[in-house]
Amino acid sequence: MASRSAPRFLNPISDEVTDDHAVYASSTDVVALTAPVAAFLEFCDHERIRPVLLTGPGVRLTAACATMLTDIRGFWAVHGPDGVLEAATGRPVTSFADLWLPHEAAPPGVVHDGVVSITLDAYVRHRADNATRIGVVAELAAGALGVALPHRWGVWEPFGRRWDTDAMTAFLRAQMPQTGPVHAVGEETTFLTQRVGRTRRGLLEHLRFSARPASGEDLHGQATALLARLEEAADVEIAVVTTRTSEADGTVRPGGYPATAPLAAVLGPRVTHHLGIDTAALAERHRVSSLGRARTPSTLIDFGGTDNPWHRLLDLGLALEPDRVLSTLGVEVPDAG
Amino acid sequence: MPAELAMLHETAPAPAEILEAFGKVCPGGSALELRDGQITVLMDDLGRHVMTIFPSVPIEMDVRSVVHDLELAEAPVAGVRSWIDVTIPLGDDGARERAARQVAQLTNGWLHVREGGEPHV
């Protein structure tokens, strides 16, 4: 039986740690959100240092790994015969700090065509009772997009549990009042991440669901139809639909992809009411419509028909005042300083 | 990490079984538990880092359907129900990987070397 004593090593889950960043050098061809990779990302997030994922040049990141790396503003560098490069642009870096220090815009590198998926980012309210099931909103989204359900889920890859909303709900319930993320994957690019937190007004689920829709035509139309379905069948607070471009199996590889673009958003009836949204005023700058109940309408915004939909989305976000949105969601906003 | 491995089991071993196995492989070795026991760092009798063990990931289906590089594995993959990530620090001359393989075998499992591995998504 081994005994326990003080360690003589720098860090068991990172290959390099400094005051401002940590490095995980992966040796695999496909870097997945395995327990070691997740532990590294959580460590960096907790310590508020920048995570750097260092891989070989021919490597791909799974959707779960890429999503979590992006969510905590991590960096991806590749180490090849030409030295260390920024993965997205191929820009040489002489030290990891070059990844985040100000620099001249890199010339356009390789941009992969990839396949386009629709990504739903939704905050949905649930009653805090035994009848609530987490996963049904994802099933709703899959149905609206005409794609198969995710078929397996887990916290770390390889995701090895069969899709089962009862089992997922029980797993998440055990972590309340605030859960970590669980992920699920399905065919092609289908991927989701969901978290749940208890708020003053019941449970708040944050779902990110991404899938390649059955039809690649009229993505804006599919996005607005998805949001309308969500608004009709779930207690949605805020949801935004964007594009996501990846390889056909959902992975991403070094190089760029066509930029993500917002397609549409919906503000549920509670948010619409609490923010006092003036649909007519918003309609001057956005393609806005009301849907749902006449007395407690939701607000649907279509970002189609604009040259730069991100500008429109940011404009919308500023118009709604982010702190007020968080307050409406029941999310505590820490005091500055 | 320099080497990313996995131990595959038909039944997930208890953490104490892994520690007991490591004690046989590395007499005088020691263990440090981090994150409420989710991560176990195993060290040799000189306190040198040998390997890090992560929690068991349950596998409810044929593991070949979730990881498709298992032709490299020595396990009878259809019966695998537990995947345990193991990482080995920089500078291994093969001894650490051998130790990991012995720990896997002593706990009725198999070692899977993930270098070049390719999990599904």
Alpha-carbon gap, residue A120 to A105, rounded angstroms: 30
A129 shares its domain with A247: yes
Q: In this structure, is residue A108 part of a structural domain?
A: no
At residue B119, the pLDDT reads 38
CA within 13 Å, CB half, A24: 29
At residue B10, the pLDDT reads 94
At residue B66, the pLDDT reads 84
Least-confidence region, from A192-206, A302-316, B95-109? A302-316
In this complex, the residue of A25, A36, A161 whose CB is nearest that of residue B60 is: A161
**Nearest chain B CA: its distance from A168 CA (Å):** 13
What mean pLDDT value characterizes chain A?
88
Burial of B65 (0-12, 13-18, 19+ CB in 10 A): middle
Q: In this structure, is residue A179 part of a structural domain?
A: yes
The tokens describing A158, both together, are 């390889």
- Count of C-beta atoms within a 10 Å radius of residue A191: 26
Q: In this structure, is residue A7 part of a structural domain?
A: no
**Chain A touched by B89 (CB under 8 Å):** yes
Inform me whether the pLDDT recorded for A306 exceeds 70.
no
Q: Give the mean pLDDT of A68-72.
A: 92
Structural domain that includes position A36 = 16-99
Q: In this structure, is residue A107 part of a structural domain?
A: no
Alpha-carbon gap, residue A157 to B85, rounded angstroms: 10
Q: What percent of chain A lies above the pLDDT cut of 70?
A: 90
Per-residue CA distances from B12 to A238, B9, B16, B63 (Å): 41, 6, 11, 14
Segment A203-223, tens digit of pLDDT: 999 999 999 998 888 999 999
**Nearest chain B CA: its distance from A35 CA (Å):** 6
Alpha-carbon gap, residue A163 to A171, rounded angstroms: 12
**Chain A touched by B15 (CB under 8 Å):** no
At residue A2, the pLDDT reads 46
A271 shares its domain with A127: yes
Q: What percent of chain B lies above the pLDDT cut of 70?
A: 86
Beta pairing, strands A50-55 & A75-80: parallel
Q: Give the mean pLDDT of A42-67.
A: 93
At residue B76, the pLDDT reads 73
Alpha-carbon gap, residue A217 to A90, rounded angstroms: 32
Inform me whether the pLDDT recorded for B57 exceeds 80.
yes
Higher confidence at residue B83 or residue A8? B83
Inter-chain touch A2–B23, beta carbons under 8 Å: yes
In this complex, the residue of B2, B48, B55 whose CB is nearest that of residue A8 is: B48
Higher confidence at residue A328 or residue A150? A150
Segment A248-278, tens digit of pLDDT: 999 999 998 988 888 999 999 998 988 888 8
At residue B23, the pLDDT reads 97
A88 shares its domain with A129: no
At residue B73, the pLDDT reads 65
The chain B residue lying nearest A252, using CA atoms, is B121
A123 shares its domain with A193: yes
CB neighbour list of residue A201: distance below 8 Å, 6 or more residues apart: A125, A330
Strand A21-25's sheet: what is its strand order?
A: A16-17, A21-25, A50-55, A75-80, A83-86
Inter-chain touch A5–B32, beta carbons under 8 Å: yes
A46 shares its domain with A173: no
Higher confidence at residue B37 or residue A142? A142
- On chain B, the residues whose CB falls within 8 A of the CB of A36 are 1, 4, 52, 54, 85, 87
A176 shares its domain with A208: yes
Segment B59-102, tens digit of pLDDT: 999 888 887 666 666 667 778 999 999 999 877 888 999 999 99
pLDDT band at A325 (very low <50, low <70, confident <90, very high): low
Q: In this structure, is residue A104 part of a structural domain?
A: no
Q: Give the mean pLDDT of B23-52.
A: 93
pLDDT band at A174 (very low <50, low <70, confident <90, very high): very high
Q: Give the mean pLDDT of A302-316.
A: 75
Alpha-carbon gap, residue A315 to A242, rounded angstroms: 16
In this complex, the residue of A5, A9, A185 whose CB is nearest that of residue B49 is: A9
pLDDT band at A332 (very low <50, low <70, confident <90, very high): low
Q: In this structure, is residue A147 part of a structural domain?
A: yes
Q: What percent of chain A lies above the pLDDT cut of 90?
A: 64
- Among the three residues A36, A71, A99, which one is the final residue of a domain in this structure? A99
- On chain A, the residues whose CB falls within 8 A of the CB of B116 are 28-29
**Chain A touched by B47 (CB under 8 Å):** yes
pLDDT band at A18 (very low <50, low <70, confident <90, very high): confident
A125 shares its domain with A38: no
**Chain B touched by A303 (CB under 8 Å):** no
A121 shares its domain with A94: no
Q: Give the mean pLDDT of A100-114.
A: 83
At residue B120, the pLDDT reads 32
A153 shares its domain with A44: no
- On chain A, the residues whose CB falls within 8 A of the CB of B118 are 28-30
Higher confidence at residue A317 or residue A74? A74
A126 shares its domain with A71: no
Q: Give the mean pLDDT of B51-60.
A: 96
A155 shares its domain with A23: no
Burial of B85 (0-12, 13-18, 19+ CB in 10 A): buried
Q: In this structure, is residue A142 part of a structural domain?
A: yes
**Chain B touched by A227 (CB under 8 Å):** no
**Chain A touched by B55 (CB under 8 Å):** yes
The tokens describing A74, both together, are 């991590």
**Chain B touched by A305 (CB under 8 Å):** no
A60 shares its domain with A139: no
Per-residue CA distances from A23 to A12, A68, A113, A219 (Å): 12, 15, 29, 38
Per-residue CA distances from A222 to A148, A214, A217, B2 (Å): 16, 10, 8, 44
**Nearest chain A CA: its distance from B99 CA (Å):** 14
Higher confidence at residue B36 or residue A142? A142
In this complex, the residue of A3, A25, A160 whose CB is nearest that of residue B2 is: A25
CATH number at A88 reads 3.100.10
Number of domains in chain A: 2
Chain A from 139 to 178: CB within 8 A of any B CB:
152, 154-162
- Count of C-beta atoms within a 10 Å radius of residue A68: 22
Q: Give the mean pLDDT of A132-143.
A: 96
At residue A128, the pLDDT reads 92
At residue A8, the pLDDT reads 37
In this complex, the residue of A25, A36, A162 whose CB is nearest that of residue B61 is: A162
Q: In this structure, is residue A4 part of a structural domain?
A: no
Inter-chain touch A27–B2, beta carbons under 8 Å: yes
- Using CA atoms in the order A146, A147, A148, A150, what is the torsion angle rounded to 10 degrees? -130
Inter-chain touch A154–B63, beta carbons under 8 Å: no
Chain A from 185 to 224: CB within 8 A of any B CB:
185, 191
